[in-house]
Amino acid sequence: MRLLITGMAGFIGSHLTERLLARGHEVTGLDNFDPFYARSVKEANLRALGRERLVEGDILDVGEGRPGGGALDRILGAARYDVVVHLAALAGVGPSLAAPARYMRVNVEGSVLVAEAMLRHGVSRLVFASSSSVYGANTKVPFDEDDRVDDPVSPYAASKRAGELALKAAVTTTGISATALRFFTVYGPRQRPDMAIHKFIRAIDRGEPVILRGDGATSRDYTYVDDIINGTVAAIERDTPGFRAYNLGGCHATRLDDLVARIGAAVGKTPKIEVVSEMRGDVQHTLASVARAHAELGYDPQVGLDEGLRRFVAWYRSSPQS
């Protein structure tokens, strides 16, 4: 199979590219190296992949008036692609509070532009990285794909749900197929440096205080990156017509205070805690039901939290980027 992966140089994109190449697929990547975090982190992610397979460009660049169009058209027009895996997005609940319009433009308009470029070049299958954030203020756990997702609590959550709806409309009106994968708090080697587990490991290892928002009673379904990649590859390699959403989670909820204690055990140091107020836009609890993904994709998460943290800490200590 020949695939285009938007956001290839990022955390999940680089892991997914490695796996797909190992399985014999042909992969081209697109990434704009958004300054949300240091470019050097993404460049390090690319070292094992072959830098030449990545095109630096932006999904929002439509190339009006230029021969060959924008970045998407230049890539999709150069060869026959079977699937586009759309991972490129602005991420994070907190930053979205400060730039809601930009999140909507990149995450919603960008997804529509990806779908339009696919149509221009005859690519009929899209796999889209959505998020557990779409469940918003839902208090029913575990979250099921048929639950209501019309109560977002952050611009980021709203942008991911709007992206799903835009792609569902494209499926209805154009005949392409789109699979939305709702990722639940992915962690592991190469995780973005701004994400909680990476920040906590770094702080504990350096003897700095862990900034804990609230009383520690919030909980998340933390999912190791290898399990996410297993589910994503299964979705890519299975031709699912129409629009279909799948939860990809670890199937266990862990309280924030328990997470910090377990990270401390993995690092081998006692965490110092500094409590601050909770952040607007954060949900209280997440937990995935993966019955649909198990039945239709064979998804079965294998890496428990303690083992995943052990692997993450080992990577952190061996990585100059940390």
| CA gap 278, 214 in Å, rounded | 5
Mean pLDDT confidence for 72-88: 97
Write down the pLDDT at residue 67: 63
Write down the pLDDT at residue 321: 61
Q: Which two tokens stand for residue 91?
A: 């991420």
Active site residue 156: yes
Encode pLDDT of 262-285 as tens digits.
Answer: 999 999 999 999 988 776 767 889
Encode pLDDT of 30-73 as tens digits.
Answer: 999 999 999 999 999 998 898 889 999 999 998 776 766 799 99
CA distances from 106 to 123, 188, 259 (A): 21, 25, 32
Which class in CATH covers the domain with range 2-186+224-249+287-302? alpha beta
Residue spans per domain, the chain: 2-186+224-249+287-302
pTM: 0.96
Q: Which of 81, 103, 135, 156 is catalytic?
A: 156
Write down the pLDDT at residue 280: 75
Q: Which residues contact 36 (CB under 8 A, 6 or more apart)?
A: 90, 91, 92, 95, 194
For residue 188, which of 73, 5, 26, 18 has the smallest C-alpha distance?
A: 18
